[in-house]
């Protein structure tokens, strides 16, 4: 998108790369530099996608700054990496129910909320496209009840 000269809004929890190793691989600042190096304009905004109000305000800002123009949304937000790592390999019934929230609230739910606000802008122009990026978990067994039940049956 940068190569096409687009204005790209990026969001994330961290403007600068943390000094310690975390699940955050790149900062907003690093991504901004990469987009602008290819010829685009990049506007980094710190947003906690678990907070619907912050997401709403993001789209209000884009609406105001871009005169209602939003052409593309790429949903690629997730925060359940640590929770998945902690629970990996154990049957779903041994996990705490809070695992569901850690995996699905920022990710699946946030993709939906973000798509709602983007679609409201796009529908006014009768054009736009939304891409939702998933993880390898969408095509493999991670916490699948069938996997866990089958494993339990073979463990007897």
CA 5, 34, 128, 130: dihedral to nearest 10 degrees? 170
CA angle 146, 151, 155 (to 5 degrees): 150
Catalytic residue at 48? no
Cα distances (angstroms) measured from residue 96 to each of 81, 106, 126, 129, 143: 15, 17, 43, 36, 12
Which of the following is catalytic: 9, 88, 112, 147? 147
Which run of H or of E encompasses 75? strand 72-75
- Residues annotated as part of the active site: 147
């Amino acid at each position: 998108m940068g190569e096409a000269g687009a204005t790209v809004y990026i969001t994330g929890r961290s403007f600068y790369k943390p000094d310690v190793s975390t699940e955050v691989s790149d900062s907003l600042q690093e991504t901004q530099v990469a987009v602008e190096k290819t010829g685009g304009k990049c506007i980094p905004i710190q947003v906690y996608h678990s907070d619907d109000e912050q997401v709403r305000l993001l789209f209000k800002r884009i609406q105001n700054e871009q005169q209602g123009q939003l052409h593309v949304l790429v949903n690629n937000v997730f925060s359940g990496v640590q929770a998945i790592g902690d629970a990996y390999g154990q049957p779903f019934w041994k996990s705490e129910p809070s695992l569901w929230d850690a995996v699905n609230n920022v990710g699946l739910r946030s993709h939906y909320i973000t798509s709602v606000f983007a679609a409201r802008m796009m529908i006014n122009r009768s054009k736009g496209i939304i891409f939702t990026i998933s993880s390898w978990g969408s095509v493999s067994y991670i916490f699948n009840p069938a996997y866990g039940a089958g494993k339990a049956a073979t463990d007897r």
